[in-house]
A and B are shown apart, each in its own frame.
Chain A
Amino acid sequence: MNKVKLQFKPKSRWREFLGEKFIALNALVALAAIFLIFAFIFKESLPVFTDPEVKEEASVDKMVFKQVYYEGREPKYSWQPNSIVPKYSLMPLFIGTVKAAIIAMLFAIPLGVGAAIYSAEFASHCLREIIKPVIELLAGIPSVVLGFFALIVLATFLQKTFGFVFRLNAVNAGMALGVAVIPIIFTVAEDAMTSVPNSLRDAALALGANPWQVSLTVVLPAALPGIAAGVILGFGRAIGETMIVLMASGNAAIISASFADSIRTISATIAAELAEVVFGGAHYSVLFFLGTLLFVFTFLINMGGDYILTRIKVKFQGRLK
């Protein structure tokens, strides 16, 4: 009698069927949303390639190479979309974006990976239970708050310490970005290290290695792909992050190799200018073109990170998960 009760009644099968189709639909909606968003952004940026009026002001050629804007003056890269002669060189924005990301990574990789090694290999269980959630909590700080902190406090501190001429510069924005990137690197790297099988550690210890040697020569190399994945995902965040750089970087579109100069990033440019532009105009199309580039970059970077992450799981656990 009991046995019969435990069995599912045939009646519930169509419910299961519907339920399964429903969650499948949810997954599809998310997929479709990403695809449609990309299609929309790309469509809005098309005039850069097709519309002769837009091309007159901002062809790909003009966005990439140096231009002579006024007769008798040196050719230069310039981002001045609201000028009498609008100038749409993407170079200063690219360089700004890359500079901010480099500083962010230089700051976040040692801190994120170091914290991960400590938490995974050395910290006592009790301490680890504190460190891990607290660092992951960093990810929850709204970026506008980080940006404001960098604008008011960090910039003054850095200027006093290093004597920067420009108070708001690539270093300031990059460090604030780094704070946002640390939890990403930490989380992924820590997971990668804890998923290194204990048999490896035991074997090394049995051969007479001390804990330092175990973690640096056995666990770290084994977890390297995972750490790399975390770094790549963090890099994607550093490139796409908007509010922090908008507030902390000074937003001056300059071409220079110095990290002490102000920068203007792609994401901050879109955020600052998109609200005002004329629909369908050259400026509008160029901003969407920037959006497309940003989307493609971060997408490829995240795909790369994800790919490495999957590979490492296969390597250690022998299965896809």
Chain B
Amino acid sequence: MKKIITLTLVLLFGVSLLNAGGNITIKGSDTLVRLGQRWAEEYMKLNPGVVVQVSGGGTGTGIAALINGSTDICQASRDMKEKEYKQAEVRGIKPYRVAVSLDGISIFLNEKNPVKELTFAQLKGIYTGAITNWKEVGGNDARIIVYGRENNSGTYAFFKEHVLDEEDYSDYTQTLPGTAAVVNAVAKDVNGIGYGGIAWATGVRYAAIKKTDQDQAVLPSMETVSNGTYPISRELFWFFSGQPQGELKKLVNWALSEEGQKVAESVDYIPLPRELAEKNKIK
């Protein structure tokens, strides 16, 4: 029995050594998973012999994996929380953050909904439960059906921080697994409202968003997110444990290159402005 255990351990160790050469795992945000997969495919085409595995699960899941050492790269749709930085420190991991792409959080409305634009205050009211009828924001006399993401989602956390000012979501917020499910629910629900990344929206309409009443309402698009006029936008990150070296460094610098950013654009993510991408490259 002992022999078998030893043998298994040796084998496992050997396999992990063999893989160390060219096997990269990427894990985390569901918002970024499509982009990560496209990048991995292109990169593997350019560099035969390197294997890049990409999986989702949510930003929180990815960060936990980075801290536990079970992933090389964590894709994140938000920054790490102080608590998470502390946990990483305890495990002796120094998270290294690189912004790899931009994303706007768009607000989805059903195509039949007459409401065209919303202010931050209205959004906050709707999502905290202070506003419950579309009439109050210039729509039909109907109950607002609020859809959101599960609380392991980076989008959930980002929206809570930037739009709700860290107040709680209304108890009536229906949480769905994945942005695709949110889009689907709103597409089928005349009185629904939902949020999610821009890359995901099909079959629903975007609401134009303004910070205050005085501002011009802006629709989310490549341009408005890229030039910063769309108010709910964010950077999407890759986290490494320590400054990336070797193959990892090559991969991230390629993703930030003009070619890599073109790939991002081709799957509807918003590329970083050129000079920012150059600045983010690892020397």
Residues of chain B within 8 A (CB-CB) of A272 are 150-152, 175, 177
Question: Whole-angstrom distance from the CB of B113 to the nearest CB of chain A?
Answer: 14
* Interface residue A150 (Cβ < 8 Å from any Cβ of B): no
Output the least CB separation between A142 and chain B (Å).
Answer: 16
Query: Is A254 a contact partner of B172 (Cβ separation < 8 A)?
Result: yes
Binds B, one of A77-85, A107-115, A209-217: A77-85
Number of interface residues of B (CB under 8 A): 31
Q: Is the Cβ of A252 less than 8 Å from the Cβ of B64?
A: no
Q: Which residues of A contact B168 (CB under 8 A)?
A: 78, 80, 83, 87
CB of A92 closer than 8 Å to a CB of B: yes
A278 touches B83 (CB 8 A): yes
CB-based nearest B residue for A166: B145
A253 within 8 A of B: yes
B residues less than 8 Å from A168 (CB atoms): 174, 185
Q: Give the residues from 161 to 187 in chain B that come closer than 8 angstroms, CB to CB, to chain A.
A: 166, 168-169, 171-177, 181, 184-185
Q: Which residues of B contact A167 (CB under 8 A)?
A: 145, 185, 188-189, 192
Q: How many residues of A contact B (CB 8 A)?
A: 33
- How many residue pairs bridge A and B at CB < 8 Å? 79
- Inter-chain contact B169/A276, CB cutoff 8 Å: no
User: Are the C-beta atoms of A254 and B150 separated by less than 8 Å?
Assistant: no
Q: Mark each residue of chain A from 271 to 294: 1 if its CB lies under 8 Å from any CB of chain B, else 0.
A: 011011111000000000000000
Residue B87 interfacial (CB < 8 Å)? yes
Contact B151–A156 (Cβ < 8 Å):
no
- Interface centre among B145, B152, B174, by most chain A C-beta atoms within 10 angstroms, is B174
In A245-288, the 8 Å CB interface with B consists of 246-247, 250-254, 262, 264, 272-273, 275-279
Bound-state CA distance A254–B129 (Å) is 13
A151 contacts B by Cβ under 8 Å: yes
Which residue of B is nearest A77, CB measured? B171
Could you tell me the distance in whole angstroms from the C-beta of A273 to the nearest C-beta in chain B? 6
User: Quick one: which of B103-162 are within 8 Å of A by CB?
Assistant: 143, 145, 150-152, 156-157, 160
Contact between A84 and B189 (Cβ–Cβ < 8 Å)? no
| A–B Cβ pairs within 8 angstroms, 21 of them | A80-B168, A82-B151, A151-B181, A151-B185, A155-B188, A165-B143, A166-B145, A166-B174, A167-B145, A247-B177, A251-B150, A251-B175, A252-B173, A254-B172, A264-B175, A273-B150, A273-B152, A275-B60, A276-B60, A276-B152, A278-B83
Interface residues of A (CB under 8 A from B): 78-84, 87, 92, 151-152, 155-156, 165-168, 246-247, 250-254, 262, 264, 272-273, 275-279
